[in-house]
Amino acid sequence: MDRSIPLQRFDDMPVMAPHILQEPDNQPDPDIVRLNLNENPLPPSPNAIAAMHDAVNITNRYPDHSCSALAQIISARTGISTDRLVFGNGSGEMLFAAAAIAVDRNEQAVLPGPTFAPVGKNVRLAGGKVVTVPVLENGSNNVDAMLDAVNEHTALFYLCTPNSPTGGMLEAEQIKLAVDKVPGDCLLMVDEAYHEFAAWEGGPDVLSLLATRSGPWAVIRTFSKAYGLSGARIGYAITSNRNLAVGFSKVRIGFNVNRIALAGACAAMRDQNYLEMVLDTVSCERQRLSLALQNCGLRVYPSAANFLLARTNSP
């Protein structure tokens, strides 16, 4: 019996048009700035570039699947044991893994809207339902309203701070509210792709706030933004316990982080001076651009990330 693949079930899912990312000569077009990707305009740390060059010479060997060298660095910075860290091919793989392990068919995820689009897609691929709660006027997640949307079918509660694409950052009180009120059998996930920028602006310490939660939680971070390694593809999940980390590991792709990305990430994390230069530069330029856009009559949302969202007076 012939059986066709039911591709129509994906009809309402977004897809990036291939021509947007085409690079026939494997080099970005200098005349095109892809503002929707929130890329770092500055290159990676020179130390990271050198480390990646050196790693090319051993790409005949498979990489360290546990990313142990990088795990040790992050563990020393955060106080989180290495067995609670899981690494992925960018934070996107970790977001996919979270939906895969937390959401079962006909369960639901509560998300802010708008937010990082792949999260909702991941939930639907897992067979779940997406409940979207509009963000506040300042562009940050409306935690109170999101908690009102929680019911017995809620398996995933997703926060994004600073939120993409609005840039709004959650205050400590709002994160603490989620920590206290999200049910203990629901995964509380905090997407901190722009963590370094938020910390530079005096944002709350999300990890310390989550430490008081008895239920499962995960923080997702990336090297794509502040560290400028978006083309290398490396991110990670910080989990509430070892068992949850094992769950993330079971659904990730084998050897998902290549040697070049791993070498670059390790060197980038060790170069704190360069990171601080990047954060200061981006902060100053963001403020300058925000003022210029406001002088043009646009409404600019407050942002603690490396991008701005502005509302025009006409479509």
- Residue 151 belongs to what domain range? 46-270
The pLDDT-based confidence of 1 (bands split at 50, 70, 90) is very low
The encoded tokens of residue 40 equal 């770092």
pLDDT over 70 (residue 91)? yes
Evaluate whether residue 55 is within a structural domain: yes
pLDDT at 3: 65
The pLDDT-based confidence of 8 (bands split at 50, 70, 90) is confident
Return the higher-pLDDT residue of 40 and 313. 40
pLDDT at 313: 81
Task: Please report the DSSP string for 92-138 in residue order.
Answer: HHHHHHHHHHH--TT-EEEEEES--HHHHHHHHHTT-EEEEEEPPTT
pLDDT over 90 (residue 20)? no
- Give the chain's domain count: 1
> Do residues 123 and 105 lie in contact, with contact meaning Cβ atoms separated by under 8 Å?
no
Evaluate whether residue 170 is within a structural domain: yes
Evaluate whether residue 34 is within a structural domain: no
What would the pLDDT profile of 230-279 be if each residue is shown by its tens digit?
Answer: 999 999 999 999 999 999 999 999 999 999 999 999 999 999 999 999 99
pTM of the model: 0.94
Q: What is the 3-state composition of the chain as percent helix, strand, coil, each rounded to the nearest 5? A: 40, 15, 45
Evaluate whether residue 81 is within a structural domain: yes
pLDDT at 15: 74
The encoded tokens of residue 248 equal 């993330």
What would the pLDDT profile of 140-158 be if each residue is shown by its tens digit?
Answer: 999 999 999 999 999 999 9
Evaluate whether residue 295 is within a structural domain: no
pLDDT over 50 (residue 106)? yes
Evaluate whether residue 137 is within a structural domain: yes
The encoded tokens of residue 183 equal 């049910």
Evaluate whether residue 303 is within a structural domain: no
- Mean pLDDT for all residues in the chain: 95
The encoded tokens of residue 98 equal 């979270």
- Rounded to an integer, the average pLDDT of 75-88 is 98
pLDDT at 18: 63
- Rounded to an integer, the average pLDDT of 68-95 is 98
pLDDT at 31: 76
- Residue 78: count of CB within 10 angstroms of its CB: 16
The pLDDT-based confidence of 30 (bands split at 50, 70, 90) is confident
pLDDT at 175: 99
Evaluate whether residue 162 is within a structural domain: yes
| Percent of the chain's residues with pLDDT above 90 | 87
- Rounded to an integer, the average pLDDT of 213-230 is 98
Domain containing 156 — which CATH number?
Answer: 3.40.640.10
pLDDT at 2: 56
pLDDT over 90 (residue 4)? no
